[in-house]
Structure 1
Amino acid sequence: MTIKVALVNDYEVIVRGLANMLRNYTSKIDIVELDANREVSTPVDIVLYDTFGDIAGHRQINDLLANPAVRRVAVYVWNFGPIRAKDAIRRGASGYLSKRLPAAQLVDSLIQIHHGRTVVVDATPVGGRTAGSADWPGREEGLTEREAEMLALITRGLSNAEIADVTGLSPNSIKSYIRSCYRRIDVSNRANAVRWGVRHGFEPDHVRVVQPDVG
């Protein structure tokens, strides 16, 4: 029996990239929905919630679990931290999983969660980036996922202090990622970064994508 999973994030490129990462595990994982900024509508065993660019942060866990179609929630994060993991579990998440996990280990973690275990897993860096075939806005322009997330949150109007609250990163780390993002996209200030972000797909998508039947 396969585990029914919905992939949730505000950006279609994120959920499609994650689905691509899991494409070789269809005997274990049945991705029944890809949700870009829409409520899960199909009953699922697990929602894998990617926190990239999400201004709700861990509050989104409560909203997901309030949905009768959702049995369990696993949070999928780049900004892994023990304190934030504890907060997510306290809010009802059954898993807190690093994006540095290889696809096979991610699938194994989802299987354990499906069996009723609480799973918290960090991972050794894989070249400093997300493992597998995940994707994010701006990747084709050379932005790392952390730089891209900073730009996504800036484009959505968050201040540095608000970004720190959402991501759990220190103010100095945020400033460093923002500076490196500016250099990569060749802008010198926040207003120009926002304009670049709007032109290059950093505003969230507003369509729910249902995974088509296969076979």
Structure 2
Amino acid sequence: MSGTARGGPIRVALVDDYDVVLAGLAHMFDRYRDRVVVCEIDANANLDDEVDIVLYDSFAQPESDHHELSELVRNPRASRVVVYTWNFHPELVESAQEKGVHGYLSKTLPARDLVAALESVHAGETIISSPPRRAGSALGLDWPGRHEGLTDREAEILALITQGKSNAEVATLTYLSPNTVKTYIRSTYRKIDVTSRTQAVLWGVAHGFTPDHHRIDHWLGGP
């Protein structure tokens, strides 16, 4: 059933710390404006009305710390909270469900399936995507460094490094093995033509890898 059939499109607020991530996600919904309307991607704009769904994009967010999810679930302006991610480690999924999220959706979903899942969540269901069989993102998504050749996984690792995280912290936050993290770092360094962590951080700062924490703070009860 479409949003129009229920009396109007679902009102969705997108939450992530990176402009390019939010813009790419919002673009995915362009063909489905009769069913989904993105009512907020800018935390600096006032939104006093309640939204139907907060869609929390996990890019470069502390996935192993679900305090943010608990706060989002408690926010009276958000009727339902959905996590949008590629990381389906069983502990992450279980923890999110315990915190009360209403959906845990894979970034490998085509736009039409993502919209259908959001409609099901809005109708009262709890939707958990099947773990993706291989790495990959839905067409239309964007992330910092994509146009410089970085995959979304490499970009996420670089974003965490730019935030000052150590390799061990990155591994913990992403539920990747230390060796996998090192492999991503090596491939990232080659693509951005740097040879040290300091150079990588400087490159990240210059190419949009510094998060705007005000976005998530805004939904956690901040200004």
Give the structure-1-normalised TM-score: 0.88
Contact 1:94/1:117 (8 A) holds in 2: yes
Contact 1:6/1:35 (8 A) holds in 2: no
Q: Using a 3 Å threshold, how does the CA distance of structure 1 residues 171 and 34 change in structure 2: closer, same or farther?
A: same
Is 1:178 matched with 2:185?
yes
Partner of residue 64 from structure 1, selected from 61, 72, 78: 72
Partner of residue 86 from structure 1, selected from 66, 75, 94: 94
Is 1:131 matched with 2:151?
no
Name the CA distance, whole Å, in 1 between partners of 2:49 and 2:19. Answer: 18
Partner of residue 51 from structure 1, selected from 47, 50, 58: 58
Number of equivalenced pairs: 207
Name the CA distance, whole Å, in 1 between partners of 2:60 and 2:46. Answer: 17
Over residues 77-134 of structure 1, what are the superposed CA-to-partner deviations in whole Å (9 max), with x where a residue is unaligned?
12222331111111111111110110011111111111111111036568x4311211
Q: Secondary structure at the match of 2:210?
A: coil
Return 20-29 or 31-40, whichever deviates more.
31-40
Is 1:167 matched with 2:177?
no
Q: Using a 3 Å threshold, how does the CA distance of structure 1 residues 41 and 67 change in structure 2: closer, same or farther?
A: farther
Q: Which amino acid aligns with 1:79?
A: N
Name the CA distance, whole Å, in 1 between partners of 2:205 and 2:190. Answer: 17
Q: Which amino acid aligns with 2:183?
A: S
Name the CA distance, whole Å, in 2 between partners of 1:38 and 1:88. Answer: 28
Return 30-39 or 96-105, whichever deviates more.
30-39
Q: Using a 3 Å threshold, how does the CA distance of structure 1 residues 181 and 36 change in structure 2: closer, same or farther?
A: farther
Give 2:81's aligned residue. Answer: 73
Contact 1:9/1:37 (8 A) holds in 2: no
Q: Which amino acid aligns with 2:199?
A: N
Aligned-residue RMSD, C-alpha: 2.1
Shift of 1:189: 1.7
Name the CA distance, whole Å, in 2 between partners of 1:206 and 1:96. Answer: 22
Contact 1:51/1:75 (8 A) holds in 2: yes
Name the CA distance, whole Å, in 2 between partners of 1:40 and 1:60. Answer: 19
Partner of residue 10 from structure 2, selected from 3, 12, 18: 3
Is 1:26 matched with 2:33?
yes
Unmatched 5+ residue regions in structure 1?
A: 209-215
Give the structure-2-normalised TM-score: 0.85
Quick one: percent identity of the two aligned structures? 51
Q: Secondary structure at the match of 1:85?
A: helix
Q: Secondary structure at the match of 2:37?
A: strand
Contact 1:53/1:149 (8 A) holds in 2: yes
